[in-house]
Structure 1
Amino acid sequence: MGTILGILHFIVAAWAIYSIYKSSAGTGSKIIWSLAVFFFPVVGLIAWFFVGPK
């Protein structure tokens, strides 16, 4: 079960980082959001979903 959750998390994080880089936000914001998603996986993804660049 842990492997499936790990793969699911990787897919969601990769999609989030891809969406961050495709957004119209500034370069600094993109880097900060990407680092947040990478270093704080659950909190970063939730924060990006609710307040991240659209």
Structure 2
Amino acid sequence: MEFLLGLVVFVLDVWAIIHVIGSRSSTLAKVLWVLLILIMPVVGFLIWLVAGPRRTASMAT
């Protein structure tokens, strides 16, 4: 059960990082968001989900 929960957290974190990299934010902001997500996977993801940079128009397909 722990493996499944860890896998879900990992997939969500990778998804968040992909969206951070594709955002219109500055490079510094992108680096800080990625670090937050990597250092605190669950809390960082939740913070990104609420307050993180939004997707670009090209990714909204």
Instruction: Tell me the TM-score range normalised by the shorter chain.
Output: over 0.9
CA RMSD of aligned residues (A): 0.5
Identity %: 35
Q: Unpaired segments of 5 or more residues in structure 1?
A: none
Q: After TM superposition, where is structure 1 displaced by more than 3 Å over at least 4 residues in a row? A: none
* Counterpart Cα distance in 2 of 1:10 and 1:43: 13
- TM-score with structure 1 setting the length: 0.96
Q: What does residue 11 of structure 2 align with?
A: 11
Partner of 2:23: 23
Q: 1:42 Cα shift?
A: 1.3
In the TM superposition, residue 13 of structure 1 has moved relative to its aligned partner by: 0.4
Q: Report SS of the residue matched to 1:11.
A: helix
Q: Specify the code of the residue in structure 2 equivalent to 1:52.
A: G
